[in-house]
């Protein structure tokens, strides 16, 4: 797995989104699942001439996407990606949403079906303060996971190794990995020191 620096022409994006943008070829077709307000797709359109579409469920985010001229479909990701053809896109992105999906394996398989490459990011449950919180008898509450146990949308938390094992079982070939702690990239002991992991994989 290679780790490359995010390109310098992405100053307006968060570090994790800048890294994702650096993995996407200019002029390619991109599907962004849980695209939020369309920030990544708008940037890719303006800076990489990417032809993109987003899927989002939140009404306010959908309105913001439309205002930015981002193509968006309002749909619940749990319903799958049946609207899209096999290999319709070069890259499909699922940014900080995997941990809230009920059907984790299904959405990863669907990503591999509709695109040649997938990008996922998720909070790293292996971050060392989480273990300390558990030793004190508490569920972790951190900047990356700011919710209490009773109101969290995060239902499938995992570590870096957990995700890599699942990817191998689904025959997703991991191409690159980047890990972050807030806005800083973590290169040493990422399994313990990072709060967010970003993976790029190739479909079977």
d(CA 129, CA 73): 38
Asked whether residue 69 is domain-assigned, the answer is yes
Q: How many domains does the chain have?
A: 1
Asked whether residue 9 is domain-assigned, the answer is no
pTM: 0.86
For 173-200, the pLDDT digits (tens) are: 999 999 999 889 999 999 999 999 999 9
What would the two tokens of residue 157 be? 């938390």
For 51-104, the pLDDT digits (tens) are: 999 999 999 999 999 999 999 999 999 888 999 999 999 999 999 999 889 999
Give the ranges where the chain is alpha helix by DSSP (H). 15-22, 39-48, 59-67, 104-114, 128-135, 160-169, 190-193
Structural domain boundaries, residue 180: 15-202
Asked whether residue 2 is domain-assigned, the answer is no
Where residue 5 falls among pLDDT bands split at 50, 70, 90?
Answer: very low
Can you give the CATH number for the domain in which 22 is found?
A: 3.40.50.150
Q: Do 154 and 147 form a contact (C-beta atoms < 8 A)?
A: yes
Asked whether residue 10 is domain-assigned, the answer is no
For 93-139, the pLDDT digits (tens) are: 999 999 889 999 999 999 999 999 999 999 998 886 655 556 666 56
Handedness of CA 109, 30, 34, 172 (dihedral sign): positive
Asked whether residue 56 is domain-assigned, the answer is yes
Question: So what's the pLDDT on residue 56?
Answer: 96
Asked whether residue 145 is domain-assigned, the answer is yes
């Amino acid at each position: 797995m290679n780790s490359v620096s995010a390109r310098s022409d992405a100053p307006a994006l968060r570090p994790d989104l800048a890294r994702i943008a650096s993995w996407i070829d200019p002029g390619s077709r991109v599907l962004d699942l849980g695209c939020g307000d369309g920030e990544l797709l708008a940037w890719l359109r303006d800076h990489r001439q990417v032809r993109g579409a987003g899927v989002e469920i939140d009404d306010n985010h959908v309105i913001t996407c439309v205002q930015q001229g981002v193509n968006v479909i309002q749909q619940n990701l749990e319903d799958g990606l049946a609207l899209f053809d096999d290999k319709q896109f070069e890259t499909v992105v699922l940014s900080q949403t995997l941990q809230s999906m009920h059907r984790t394996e299904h959405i990863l398989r669907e990503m591999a079906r509709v695109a040649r490459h997938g990008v996922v990011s998720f909070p790293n449950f292996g971050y060392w303060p989480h273990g300390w919180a558990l030793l004190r008898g508490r569920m972790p509450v951190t900047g990356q996971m700011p919710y209490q146990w009773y109101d969290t949308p995060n239902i499938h938390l995992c570590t870096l190794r957990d995700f890599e094992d699942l990817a191998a079982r689904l025959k997703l070939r991991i191409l690159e990995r980047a890990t972050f702690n807030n806005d800083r990239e973590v290169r040493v002991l990422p399994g313990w020191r990072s709060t967010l992991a970003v993976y790029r994989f190739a479909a079977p």
